[in-house]
Structure 1
Amino acid sequence: MANKIGRFELVRKLGEGAQGTVYLARDPHLDRQVAIKTLLQDAKNVDVLLKEARIVSKLQHKNIVTLFDAGEHDAKAYLVYAFVEGQTLAQLLNDETTLPPAQAAKIVCGILEGAGHAHLQGIVHLDLKPSNIMIAENGQPLIMDFGIACRVTKDSVKNTSINGTPRYIAPEIMSGEHATASADIFSLGVILRELTSGHNADAQETSRKKTNLASEQLATNSTHIDERLEEIIHKATAKNPEDRFGSAENMQMALQEYLNPAHLEHHPTDTHSTLDFLLRRMRSKSDFPALSSTISEINKVVDDDSASVNLLVQTILQDFALTNKLLKLVNTVTYGQFGGQINTISKAVAILGFETVRNVTMTLILLDFLQNKAQASQLKDDVLTSFFAGIVATKISAEISIRDAEEAMICSMFRNLGKLLSSFYFFEESQQVARLVEQGESEDKAAIKILGISYNELAIGVAKSWSFPPRLITGMRKLTSDKVAKPYGELDNLSITVNLAHELCAIASQGNISDKPKALKQLAKRYEDAIDTSEQQLRKTMESGMSELAARARIIGIDLAESAMIKRVNMWIGAKPEVPAHKKLAEVDSLDGITQLGIETPSEGDSTTETLKIDPEFMLTEGIQEITNTLVEEHKLNDVIQMVLETMHRAMGFNRTLFFLRDVKTQQMIARFGFGQDADAVLPKFRFSLDFTPDVFHLAISKGADLMIEDITAENITGKIPLWYRQAVSSQCIMLLPVMINTKPVGMFYADMQQANTMQISPKQLSLLRTLRNQSVLAIKQKS
C-alpha cells in the first residue's frame, strides 16, 4: 500500500468492494482523519467517481456522509469523505441478525431524512442497502456511496443501468423504466423488512418476484412484526411506484407515528388536513395569493441555474415600495463590506448574489404583509420577535463564520410562520394553544393537541408550498434534543444558529427579569458542545441585535416604540427605550446631515400604505454615478446593460423598457432584456430584420436618431409602425434610443407607455437618458 494519496497520509485499509477500496487517512493540512475511496478499475471509471463527487458535494446533511475533496492519483480518481467512527448497517445486521422493530424504525427514519434532503434537490441514490449505511457511535445513521446516484430531470432518467444490488432495486428499474425518488423508498422498505425479520431472499429470486409476481408486496415472514409496521413495509415495497409513499418525508412520518402511538391517541387530527386547510384558506384570501405567488416566484428564479439576473430583478421591480425598501436596506452598514452605493436591484444582485437578495427580499415581503394587518398587539409582538430572532441569528452567524448571514435571517424569520398564520386563520384554536401553554404545556405539544401539527411543521409545510430551497427548510427545523450536539456540517451550523437565536430571544423577551440569568446559563450549557459561547457573549449578542433591529426598523418603517416585547428586552439589557415615531418626526429633521431625496413618507395616521414620489432626475443621476463606478471596476457587460435598463425604467416610470441587441448570425435586432408589463411574454415577439423597411425602428437605427413617438395612431405616423409591433403590444407611446458604434447599430433601448401622449420627458431628463445610453456604448466597447 502506498504511503500517500495526494496530500493524504494513508493509515490503514478500511474495506474493499466490487467498485473500489476505502482507506483511513490523515489530512496533514487540517490535522484530521478522513476516509478516502478509490476505484479498482482504471481511467474509464474516473468519470463515475467524479460524477459522484459532483453529486455528493451538493448534499450537506447530518444523515449524509460529508464529501470534503476529490482528486486524481496515479491515473485513478479518489474521493475524500468525513471519517465516521462506527460500523455499517450490514455489519450491525450481521452481528445482531435482526433488530427490535423500534430500533429498526428509528434507523430508517434517519436514512429517510437524508434521502429526503437529496430528493428535494432532484438527486436519487439508487443503491441504498445496509452496506451503504454507516451507523455512527452515537447511533446516527448516515448514507454514503452515491456512486450510481443520478439527478432526476423533467424527462426523468430512463433505462438506468442496473449497477446496484438486485434485492434492493425497485422493480421499475429492473424493467428499464424511469428512476425516481420512489426507487429509494422501495429500497428502504426492503431494508426495513430485512432489519426486522432477518429475511434475506436470494437476489435472483427477489428479482423474479419483483418483475413477475402479481402480488404488490414482499412478505415479511416474521411473527414479531406488528400489523402497523407490516403495513408500512408493504406500502414502501409496493410493485407500482404510485402505490408507495409519495415522498421520503411521508414514509418518515408514518414511522414516527408508529414509534409514538400515544400521539395518535391524543391527537387524532390529520396533520396533512390541517396544512391543506390552511393553504386553501390562504389561496382564497385576496392578499395571501399575491404574497405566496411573489415568494414562490422569487424562490424558483433563484434556484433555477439557468435563470437570468433580469428575471429576478423584474420580479422584485413589480413591487415599487418593496424595491425602494430593499435598496435602502442593502445600503446600510450591514452590507458595508461590499463598498459603494447600490442604486439598482441589478447591481444588488451582481454584488450580493441571487441568494442574498432573495433572502432580504422575502424578509421584507413577510414583514410588510404582517405589520400592515390590523391585528392584536400580541401578534405584532410575535412578528417583531421573529424579526428580532432573525437579526440575532445574523449576529451569531458572524461569530461562527457562516457564509450567508441573511440565510440564517430568513430561516429565523420564517421559523415562526406557522404560529403567525395560525393567529390569522385559526384564531380561536391559537388562543386555546396559548391557554395550554399558560398552564405549563409546551407550545409544540399544545399545538399538536389542538391543531394536530406543531407550529414549526406548519411553517415548514407552507415554506415548501412556496418553493423554499431544501437548505432553508433544514435551517427552519426546530431542535428538540435536551443537549445540542456538535455540528456535523454547514447545514448543522445553520440549524444551530437559528435555534440558538430563537431560544435566546425567548429568554430576553420573557417578563420576569430575575429569571433571565438562570435561563441564560442553562441555554449556554445546552449549546456548549455545539458552539463556543458564554453567558456574557450571549448577552452581548442580544445587545448588538437590539441596535441592529432599531436601525433596520427605521429603514423599513417599523415602529418599535409601542412593543411590549421590545420594552422587556430593553429593560433587561439596560438600553434606552425607542422614541415613538410621531415624536421622532417632530424632533428630527435630518440624520447627521444626510437628507433622503425624492421620497415622501406616509402621512400621520396612514399605517397601511407607503406613498412614494420619485424624483426622476435625481434617480437618473444616481444611476449614472453607479454605472460610472461599475465601469472602472471588473464587470460583466450584461450587468451594466441591466443597470442602465433598470435605471431608465424606475426613474421614468415607463410601462415597459426593453433592450435590443444585434444578432450577427441572423442579422436581426432581438430584444434580450426587459422590465415592466408582461415583459417575459413580449420579449420573444420583439425582433426585426436589419434589412431596411420604412418604419420608425429602422429609421432610428439607420440614422442613429433618438425618437419619441407620442401617438402611434397619428395620421402621419401610423403607416410607419410595423405589423410585428402592432401584433405584439398595444402601447401607443414609444421612445427609441439606438446604440451606435462607428455609425453601425449594435443595440437599442426601447420604452413605451400604454396611452398616447403620456410620456413626459423634460430636456434635462432626455440628456440624462442619453448619458445612460452612452455608458452602455462604452461598456460594449470595453468588452469588444
Structure 2
Amino acid sequence: MTIKRIGRFTIIRELGRGAQGAVYLAYDPQLDRQVAIKTLRPGAAQTEILLREARIVSKLQHANIVPLHDAGESDGSAYLVCAYIEGGTLATMLQHGALPAVKSAEIACYLLDALEYAHQHGVMHLDIKPANIMIGQRGQPMLTDFGIARLIQGQSEASREVVGSPQYMAPESINGEGVNASSDLYSLGIVLYEMVTGVVAFQGENVMQILNRVAHEPVAAPSAHNAELDEKLEAIILKSVGKRREERYPDAAAMRAALKEYLGGIGEAAANDSHSTLDFLLRRMRSKSDFPALSNIITEINQIVASESDSANKLARVILQDFALTNKLLRLVNTVSYGQFGGNISTISKAVVIMGFETVRNIAMSLIMLEFMQNKSLAHQLKDEVIAAFFAGVVATQLAVGRNIRDAEELMICAMFQNLGRMLVTYYFFEESQEIARLIEQGLTEEQAAIKVLGLTHNEIGIGVARSWSFPKRLLDGMEKLPQGEAVKKPKTEAEHMKATVNMANELCVIAAATATQEKAQALNRLRLRYQDAIDISERKLNDALESGLKELSRRAMTLEINTARSPLVKKVRQWSGLPVEQPAAEHREQREGMNGVHGIESVLNAEAQEDASARPDPETVMGAGIQDVTNSLVEDFNLNDVLLMVLETIYRGLGFKRAIICIRDNKSNAMVARMGLGEDVDAVIPRFRFNLAFEPDVFHLAVDKGVDIVIEDLRAESIASKVPAWYRGLIDAQSFILLPIVINKKTLGLFYADMQQANSLKLSERQLSLLRTLRNQAVLAIKQKM
C-alpha cells in the first residue's frame, strides 16, 4: 500500500528503504518546506526510547549535522523528521570506486567537526556509515540519522546491546565492553578506509562472520588495496581503527588535527599546481578556527539573496547573529553616504525593505571582510592591504558619480574584493607573499611573481575563494582583472561597464600609491588613454575622484572604527594628490561635515578610549528608534510581515534577548503557532514552539485567554514552577521570559515571546515595559490595517 501521509506531512516519494524502515521525501504544509521522514518499522524494539533520545538529539545544531526537526508516532510506527538535503549519500559516491585521498581526508575532517560537537554535548552517533553521510550539492558532508544515537551520560559500560551496522561498528560494541565516543571515531576510521580504497574493511558471507572478523581480526593495510596511498594517511587510518580504544586517537579533535597536518603537507608539496594551490588555500582557511565562521556567514548571505523564496526575515536573522556587524551596518546606512535612502533606519529589517536584498548583502559582506581582516595578527602589512582594498572600493563609487551605474555598492564590493586574493595570501601565505614582493622588486609584474611562487595570480585566488562563497556571477565578473597594457574596449553591457570602472579604480589607487609625485601627470594620462574608449574621463576628474575618495574613506572609516591616520597608503595618496599630509583641523572638519550628528573625530576617539565600541546600545534608545521605524512604515504602503519583523527585531535587539518569537493563532488546528523568530537555535525551536488553545492552567493560556502581559523573572520560583507547561520546559532552557499577547476585538490573534538565559536577568523598568507594549500595539495596528 502506498503511503500518502505521515502525521501532518504529505509524502512525495520514497528515497530509500532499509532494515529499520523507509525514508521518504515529504512536504510540511505548516512551514511550507520539504523534509525527509524516516519511519521505523512497526514493532521496532525500544521505540519509546528512540523517540525520547531523538528529542534530545534534535537540539544539536551544527553545519555538518543534518538537523532533526521532530519525532512522532503514526499508526503505531515511530518516525523522525529531518531537514531534506539535496544531493546524495557517500554510499552512492562510493559505488563508483575510491575517492581521491585529499578529498577523503577533507570529508573526514568535516565529519570530525560534527562528532567533536556532538560528543561535547554528550551524544554519540553509533551508526556511522556511508549511507548515513549526506553530501550536499555544494560538497558539504553531513552526518544524518543522529535520531538513533545514544547519550554518553548514563551509558552502561556493561551494556551488551549491539548497536550500529556490522561492518562499521567498533569491536567493543560486539564484545560487550560498552561503547563510548571512541566507538564513533573507529567507525569513521572504517569509513575513511573505504573512501581511499573503494572496499569495505571487513567482509563476510553472513553477519556473524563479519562480526567475528571485526571483533578479532586485524584490519588489512589500506595500501593493500591502493598502492599509491600516502604512508602518513595510512598511518592515521590504522591508528583510528585500533582494536583497543587506548590504541586510537583520544578524541575527535586529535584525529582531525592529524588529518589536517597531513593535508597541509600535501598542499605544500603541490603548491606549483594551480588547482592544488587553490585547494590548498581553501584547506588552510578551513583549518583556522575563525575562517570557517567567516565563510559560513558570507556563503549563507549570498545564498539567501540568490534564493527567490527566502524572506527579509532570513537575511535579517543572519545579520543579527553578529552584534558588531548589526551595529556597524546600521551606523553606516545612516550616514550621508547613503542619503538617497532617507536615513533614520534603525532596524536591519527596514534596511532590507528600503535598500533591497542585494545592497544590504553588499554592505554586509564588505563589513564582514573588513572586520575579519582588521583583526588579523600580521597587523602592519595586512592592515594597509585592507585599507588599500577599502580605498579602491570607495574610489570606484566616486568614479561612478553622475554615470548610469545601477548599484554603486556593487562597484564598492567588486573593487574591494578584487584585492581579496592578495589579502588572503598575505595572511595565509606570508612567507610566499614576501617572496612575491622580492620578485616584484627584481622586475617581475605582480601577476608573474604570484604565478611563479603560487601557480596562480592573486586575482585568480580571490575569485576562486569568492566562488566558493557563492558570490553571484555578476560580482565574480566585476572582480576580474583586465589584461595589463591593453586599451580597454567600449563596454557592450552594464556588467562590462562595471568591470571597467572597478579596474580603473584599482589601477588609479596603485598609481597614486606607487608613482613619484613628479610623474603624476604622465601616469594619469596613461590611465586616461587606456580607458578612454570605455570611460571618458579627464585627468582632473581622476584626481577629483582620489580627493573625494579620501574624504569618503575618512567618513566611512570613522563610522566603522577603522584607524587610517597612520596608514602609509593614505599618507602617500594625500601627498600625491597635493593635499597636506598633516592638517588635523581640516581633517576633523571633513569628519564633522560627513557624519550625521557626530561632533568630530576627537570626540569619537576620546569616547572609544573610554568604552568598548561594541558595547550594547541603550535599550530605550534602540526601542525608541525601532518604534519610529515602524511608525514611518505604517503611514506608507507596507507589507505586514515586514512590519511584524521590524517589531520583533526591535524587541530582540532592544533588551538583548536570547531569542524572540511571534506566534499566530491557527484556527484550523486551534493552536498558537510560532511563525517567525530571531536568536539562538531559533530554526530548531520554531517548528516545535506551539500549544493547543484548549485551556490549561499555565502562563501561556493565561496570557492568551485573559489578554494580559506576563513577565517571568525566574521560572524556577515556587509560585511559578507549576504554571510553566511541560512542552516549554522540554524545548527551551531559558529561565526568564516575557509574553505580550496581540489582542484584536477582544480575541488574542497572536503572541510575542522573548526570553533570557539566566534567571532574574529580565528586570524591566516601567519605561522599558511601556516601550515593549508600544511595539506590541504597533503590531496590533498593522494587523488591523490589513484586515
Q: Contact 1:600/1:612 (CA < 8 Å) preserved in 2?
A: no
Q: Quick one: which of 491, 513, 517 aligns to 1:509?
A: 513
Which position in structure 2 is the counterpart of 1:342? 345
Residue 602 of structure 1, CA deviation: 8.4
Structure 2 counterparts to residues 699-778 of structure 1, below 5 A: 699-778=702-781
Q: Quick one: which of 556, 562, 576 aligns to 1:552?
A: 556
Which position in structure 2 is the counterpart of 1:277? 280
| Unpaired segments ≥5 residues, structure 2 | 1-84, 89-136, 139-269
Percentage of matched positions with identical amino acids: 55
| In structure 2, distance between residues paired with 1:721 and 1:592 | 47
SS at match of 1:716: helix
Q: Contact 1:433/1:443 (CA < 8 Å) preserved in 2?
A: yes
Which position in structure 2 is the counterpart of 1:487? 491
* RMSD value, Cα: 2.8
Between 1:704-713 and 1:659-668, the stretch displaced more is 659-668
| In structure 2, distance between residues paired with 1:666 and 1:499 | 58
Runs of 4+ in 1 over 6 A off after TM superposition: 578-581, 587-593, 599-607
Q: Contact 1:560/1:578 (CA < 8 Å) preserved in 2?
A: no
Which position in structure 1 is the counterpart of 2:667? 664
Number of matched pairs: 519
Q: Contact 2:271/2:280 (CA < 8 Å) preserved in 1?
A: no
Which position in structure 1 is the counterpart of 2:783? 780
SS at match of 2:733: coil
Residue 393 of structure 1, CA deviation: 1.2
Which position in structure 1 is the counterpart of 2:325? 322
Deviations 1:532-568 (A, max 9, x none): 2222221222221111111101100111111111111
Between 1:673-682 and 1:717-726, the stretch displaced more is 717-726
Q: Contact 1:600/1:613 (CA < 8 Å) preserved in 2?
A: no
| In structure 2, distance between residues paired with 1:606 and 1:647 | 27
| In structure 1, distance between residues paired with 2:716 and 2:379 | 54
| In structure 2, distance between residues paired with 1:444 and 1:590 | 37
Which position in structure 2 is the counterpart of 1:51? none
Which position in structure 2 is the counterpart of 1:118? none
Q: Contact 1:560/1:580 (CA < 8 Å) preserved in 2?
A: no
Q: Classify 1:417/1:618 alpha carbon distance in 2 versus 1 (closer, same or farther; 3 Å).
A: same
Q: Contact 2:335/2:596 (CA < 8 Å) preserved in 1?
A: no
Residue 339 of structure 1, CA deviation: 1.2
SS at match of 1:400: coil
| In structure 1, distance between residues paired with 2:342 and 2:282 | 41
Residue 536 (1) aligns with residue 510 (2): no
Q: Classify 1:284/1:387 alpha carbon distance in 2 versus 1 (closer, same or farther; 3 Å).
A: same
Q: Contact 2:672/2:692 (CA < 8 Å) preserved in 1?
A: yes
Q: Quick one: which of 374, 379, 383 aligns to 1:371?
A: 374
SS at match of 1:561: coil
Which position in structure 2 is the counterpart of 1:524? 528
SS at match of 1:398: coil
State the TM-score, normalized to the length of structure 1: 0.63
Q: Contact 1:739/1:749 (CA < 8 Å) preserved in 2?
A: yes
Residue 579 of structure 1, CA deviation: 6.4
Q: Classify 1:589/1:541 alpha carbon distance in 2 versus 1 (closer, same or farther; 3 Å).
A: closer
| In structure 1, distance between residues paired with 2:464 and 2:295 | 13
Q: Contact 1:602/1:610 (CA < 8 Å) preserved in 2?
A: no
Letter in 1 for 2:531: Y
Letter in 1 for 2:542: L
Q: Contact 2:394/2:553 (CA < 8 Å) preserved in 1?
A: yes
Letter in 1 for 2:406: R
| In structure 2, distance between residues paired with 1:619 and 1:592 | 17
| In structure 1, distance between residues paired with 2:633 and 2:683 | 27
Deviations 1:550-590 (A, max 9, x none): 11011001111111111111112233446679x979x9999
| In structure 1, distance between residues paired with 2:691 and 2:472 | 39
Which position in structure 1 is the counterpart of 2:306? 303
| In structure 1, distance between residues paired with 2:311 and 2:678 | 13
Which position in structure 2 is the counterpart of 1:415? 418
Which position in structure 2 is the counterpart of 1:457? 460
Deviations 1:467-498 (A, max 9, x none): 11111111111111601111121211121111
| In structure 1, distance between residues paired with 2:329 and 2:597 | 22
| In structure 2, distance between residues paired with 1:600 and 1:671 | 42
Q: Contact 2:382/2:427 (CA < 8 Å) preserved in 1?
A: no
| In structure 1, distance between residues paired with 2:309 and 2:597 | 44
Residue 643 (1) aligns with residue 646 (2): yes
Q: Classify 1:414/1:578 alpha carbon distance in 2 versus 1 (closer, same or farther; 3 Å).
A: farther
Residue 605 of structure 1, CA deviation: 7.3
SS at match of 2:310: coil
Structure 2 counterparts to residues 101-180 of structure 1, below 5 A: none
Residue 445 (1) aligns with residue 448 (2): yes
SS at match of 2:373: helix
Residue 729 of structure 1, CA deviation: 1.4
Letter in 2 for 1:690: L
Deviations 1:156-177 (A, max 9, x none): 9xxxxxxxxxxxxxxxxxxxxx
Residue 615 (1) aligns with residue 625 (2): no
Letter in 2 for 1:717: I
| In structure 2, distance between residues paired with 1:514 and 1:337 | 39
| In structure 1, distance between residues paired with 2:701 and 2:513 | 66
Residue 720 of structure 1, CA deviation: 2.2
SS at match of 2:762: coil
Q: Contact 1:602/1:611 (CA < 8 Å) preserved in 2?
A: no
Which position in structure 2 is the counterpart of 1:117? none
| In structure 2, distance between residues paired with 1:465 and 1:508 | 32
Q: Quick one: which of 678, 687, 692 aligns to 2:690?
A: 687
Q: Contact 1:561/1:578 (CA < 8 Å) preserved in 2?
A: no
Which position in structure 2 is the counterpart of 1:392? 395
| In structure 2, distance between residues paired with 1:299 and 1:447 | 29
| In structure 2, distance between residues paired with 1:592 and 1:302 | 29
| In structure 1, distance between residues paired with 2:361 and 2:677 | 20
Structure 2 counterparts to residues 73-92 of structure 1, below 5 A: none
| In structure 2, distance between residues paired with 1:591 and 1:475 | 30
| In structure 2, distance between residues paired with 1:414 and 1:300 | 18
Letter in 1 for 2:358: E
Q: Contact 2:555/2:594 (CA < 8 Å) preserved in 1?
A: no
Between 1:403-412 and 1:723-732, the stretch displaced more is 723-732
State the TM-score, normalized to the length of structure 2: 0.63
Q: Classify 1:633/1:376 alpha carbon distance in 2 versus 1 (closer, same or farther; 3 Å).
A: same
